[in-house]
Amino acid sequence: MGHENPAEQAKIILRTRLCNPSFIFSLFSQSPDSNYSKLKYIISSSVTEACNNSVLLLGPRGCGKVAVLEQVLEELLKEHPDMISVIKLNGLLHSDNNCALKEIARQLCLEHQLLFSKMASFDDNSQFLLSMLRECGLAHKTIVFVLDEFDLFAQGKQLLLYNLLDAMQSVTSQAVVVGVSCRLDADQLLEKRVRSRFSHRKLLFLPPSREDLERLLEHILLLSTDSSLPDDYTAAFNAKLLNILADDKFKGVIDTLCYSDSTVGHLLRFLFSAVCHMDMKSGFLSLENFKSALPSIQRQPKLEALKDCSVLELYILVCMKRLEVKELELCNFNSIMKEYKSIHDAFQTSDYYARNVCLRAFEHLLQRALISFDDNRGQGHSTEFRPVKLLISWHELHQGLKSYRSCPVRSLGV
């Protein structure tokens, strides 16, 4: 790295940080009220006090559930070497009871250098699990079962969950079951017999607040003064970055980014794209880097569909949005035409089309899934009378109108 210019080194440092979940979430691990501290206490108490525990990590995808769990397990494995064994399952791969139990047996054999038999039956693997729980408990070794996509294990007869939690009722066992799910009602999916054996501990992971988001941006993007970078470059980089973070235009970019997805994972993808756009000549991040990263990270299928709409189709969408504002969330083609006529009368537009032309545009919007019928009960009725609903938000519609160069914005009544 000594032969690289400071900008290249800074780019490598920032991209390394963005790919390191432990660094990202270390910002929130110091507080005793953080999910990190609570989860570490639950698992470590099983190790130190020889007890059984179970907990659910719930929250939207991208909020750091797995990252925090991995960070906790890494710390505990350092603090208590040879006292923790980690078994990981994923509901997308192992939701079948037989498959899941076989995978548990395979990982236990691998962990304890035992011979694994692929031909073992469900009952054989069940007995092997009970024996391992007993032996590990007697050796004061805790087995941590991580069940990712936990809600998928809660489907069907839930035999695996029952056997696992029931085996943990033994005095000699020493285990922790950690369920990870994006469904907030995952515990309600459990059968009564399974729920009675579950501890009902739940840790809720949420997108960061505005204050946490600002702290996170500084934590990730500010260069450390004790790095190998020149002090004058580090000071200049950080000063310019702080000016960007305080700029109202940058805050507008972040607001747009978080409008549809405010999770940490989405933010990290955005920042990685911005860092990749960093200008190597100036050597600094700029506001333009963040602006150019925004469209590359946002999935905007509705905006793509809006680009190919005709002016008449935009009129229909605006009419439906105006009817929503008037608290008429459900409307049909006839009510849309009345609103269309009111816009024409108010603004005296030259864009006024015949009813049959409007009906074809209306049907085209249905085909493009920008609007849809409210239900399927009126399939025998004419298209003009069936209630429809709008499938795009006002924000998406406004962005689409702004990007439509030939759009007569004033005549659309917006």
Quick one: 179 and 37 in the same domain? yes
pLDDT band at 301 (very low <50, low <70, confident <90, very high): low
Domain assignment present for 161: yes
C-alpha to C-alpha distance for 370 and 364, rounded to whole angstroms: 9
One domain, residues 379 and 313: yes
What confidence score (pLDDT) does residue 300 get? Answer: 65
Which of 299, 322, 351 is at the close of a domain? 299
Domain match, 191 and 100 both: yes
Residues 178 and 112 both lie in one domain? yes
d(CA 114, CA 285): 53
Indicate whether 329 belongs to any domain. yes
Mean pLDDT of 305-323: 84
Q: Tell me if 408 is assigned to some domain.
A: no
Question: In whole angstroms, how large is the CA radius of gyration of the chain?
Answer: 28
Tell me the pLDDT tens digit for each residue of 81-111: 889 999 999 998 888 888 888 999 999 999 8
Q: What is the DSSP letter of 187?
A: G
State the Cα–Cα distance between residues 224 and 2, nearest whole angstrom: 17
Q: At 388, is the secondary structure helix, strand, or coil?
A: strand
Q: What is the mean pLDDT of residues 302-312?
A: 76
pTM: 0.72
Strands 53-58 and 371-373: unpaired
Q: Is 21 within 8 Å of 71 (Cβ atoms)?
A: yes
| Structural domain includes residue 23 | no
Domain count, the chain: 3
Same domain, 338 and 250: no
Same domain for 188 and 59? Answer: yes
Q: What is the pLDDT of residue 219?
A: 93
Q: Could you tell me if 243 and 290 are in contact, meaning their C-beta atoms sit under 8 angstroms apart? A: no
- Cα–Cα distance, 120 to 364 (Å, whole number): 58
Report residue 186 as tokens. Answer: 């995952």
Q: Classify the phi-psi angles of 45: left when phi > 0, otherwise alpha if psi is within -120 to 50, otherwise beta.
A: alpha
- For the record, the structure tokens of 316 come out as 């229909």
249-281 pLDDT tens trace: 999 999 888 877 888 988 999 999 999 989 888
* Statement: residue 3 has pLDDT above 60: no
Give domain status of residue 22, yes or no. no
**At 54, which helix (H) or strand (E)?**
strand 53-58
Cβ partners under 8 Å of residue 386, min gap 6: 332, 373, 374, 378
Instruction: Point out the domain boundary residue: 204, 221, 236.
Output: 204
Let me know whether 317 and 295 are in one domain.
no
More confidently predicted of 379 and 218 = 218
Q: Does one domain contain both 216 and 350?
A: no
What pLDDT is attached to residue 14?
94
- 328 in the same domain as 393: yes
Q: Looking at residues 60-73, what average pLDDT do you find?
A: 91
Q: What is the pLDDT of residue 408?
A: 59
Helices (H) and strands (E) counted in the chain, each on its own, are 20, 7
The pLDDT > 90 percentage for the chain reads 32
Of 303 and 54, which is predicted with more confidence?
Answer: 54
Higher-scoring residue by pLDDT: 224, 402: 224
For 345-384, what is each residue's pLDDT tens digit? Answer: 887 766 778 888 999 989 988 888 888 887 766 565 677 8
Q: Which domain holds residue 215?
A: 6-16+209-299
280 in the same domain as 157 = no
- 199 lies in the same domain as 62: yes
Residues 271 and 311 in one domain: no
Give me the chain's average pLDDT, please: 86
Per DSSP, the three-state class of 86 is strand
Specify the pLDDT at position 392: 82
